[in-house]
Structure 1
């Protein structure tokens, strides 16, 4: 499914780009480049897959008498392999867009300048995509395993609590004019540095998931 979403989102984005290019009614290929966010579409499909793996394969692994530690190691390995595959696909797609000049229309889904023109180029962008994929899959897995651990009521209490904290934090940032500082920090990062930050987050999420799954009960 995620692979189908990857190509479907890319195809739809290119189709929209071709339509816009045609509507402009110009054969000039030197126009302003256009960028799309369709590259994130398969990530959300992978979040669903990660949550599904927690809710369905965890009870099965317990029925086979695997330890929670073994299951968690398998999850990390599987998520890691999927993330590497996504990163490789991102690199290949960005390279295709670069060599074809955005399919002759300057229309880009993966070859995004902010990610691919810094140190490391397309490879660094692929590493960032892979690490982001791993983080999001860990997040999807966390919510599903938390449901098995704490139940539906507690899950919603935690979600609402985090929403309130997030809203309060956003209001404080607005009140103290903090968004320009945050945006400036983001713009100063490269694909490699963002990969490093996300890698740290992924390690933390792996530890958190293991802590939750130790007391989770199969449904």
Structure 2
């Protein structure tokens, strides 16, 4: 026996049917960009500002050397990564209460934040690659000052691999920043410091055990064998783990303003 619905009924037209919670993911994605300066404006200022300072220092060193001091490599590129990590923590702290007030599920909020951070990280990776090409075309802006064209990122995978690794590292930093912000809402301040000190102690034990057993040469060999592509895969696996951890923590986080 078959039942045929009248096409004019609400059931046949889909009226009154329950929407999937994932339909709100695009809105949760846009929520992270409610204040564009947080995710776009400030990081861009840091990106170009740190780069300009590094180039200026390169010209100054070249002038003091009164000749050709050779290529200089700076860590200016990481300034944007740290800025985005802070902005991700800030965004999580300020958008989480609004997401709960708008009846977003915690799963939708975490997924929307992850996609927003992934989009920003992809943009950073693209800018990183473009910056490498600019530094190569201008010989480090005529000062042999390199903030992006770093040999350990480009020698095994080229410009594209360096951009992919930069984007993956940026995403990892943002998700870690997001984690600490959400964890602060999940536990007390005292418990947060206990966790931080516990992680520091664990890291110290790992360093001591590695040193005692003389494993550092093996660690160095493993790192030397990695390309930007393979290292990016390891970083992305870490990102997936931290994202799952974020969801586990946020399930019981309190959305206070």
Q: TM-score, normalised by structure 1?
A: 0.95
Match of 1:48 among 86, 96, 100: 86
Q: Distance in 2 between matches of 1:17 and 1:64?
A: 50
Which residue number in structure 2 is paired with residue 93 of structure 1? 131
Q: Give 1:102's aligned residue.
A: 140
* Corresponding residue SS for 1:77: helix
Count of residue pairs brought into register by the alignment: 215
1:152: Cα distance to partner? 1.0
Distance 1:99 1:175 in 2: 46
Structure 2 unaligned residues grouped into runs of 5+? 1-41
Alpha-carbon distance in 2 for matches of 1:104, 1:14: 9
Q: CA deviation at 1:104?
A: 2.1
Within 1, Cα distance between the matches of 2:184 and 2:164?
A: 31
Q: What is the Cα deviation at residue 32 of structure 1?
A: 2.4
1:161 aligns with 2:198: yes
* CA positional deviation for 1:105: 2.2
Q: What pairs with 1:68-147 in structure 2 (closer than 5 Å)?
A: 68-119=106-157, 121-147=158-184
Would you say the 8 A contact 2:55–2:143 is kept in 1? no
CA distance in 1, matches of 2:98, 2:179: 18
Which residue does the alignment assign to 2:255? 218
Partners of 1:8 and 1:58 in 2: CA distance: 30
Q: Do the aligned residues in 1 keep the contact of 2:156 with 2:227 (CA within 8 Å)?
A: yes
Instruction: Tell me the CA shift for residue 69 of structure 1.
Output: 1.1
SS in 2 for 1:183: helix
Which deviations, in whole Å up to 9, do the C-alpha atoms of 1:95-135 show, x marking residues without a partner? 1001111112221110011211223x101100000000000
User: Could you tell me which residue of structure 2 aligns to residue 38 of structure 1?
Assistant: 76
Deviations 1:156-208 (A, max 9, x none): 11111111111111111111112221122111111111111011111111111
Deviations 1:7-66 (A, max 9, x none): 11100000000001111112x5xx521111111001111111111111110011111111
Match of 2:63 among 9, 16, 22: 22
| Higher Cα radius of gyration | 2
The alpha carbon displacement at 1:71 in A equals 0.7
Residue in 2 that maps onto 1:4 = 45
Matched with 2:15 is: none
Would you identify which runs of 4 or more consecutive aligned residues in structure 1 move more than 3 Å? Answer: none
1:194 alignment partner in structure 2: 231
Structure 1, gaps ≥5 residues long = none
TM-score when normalising by structure 2: 0.81
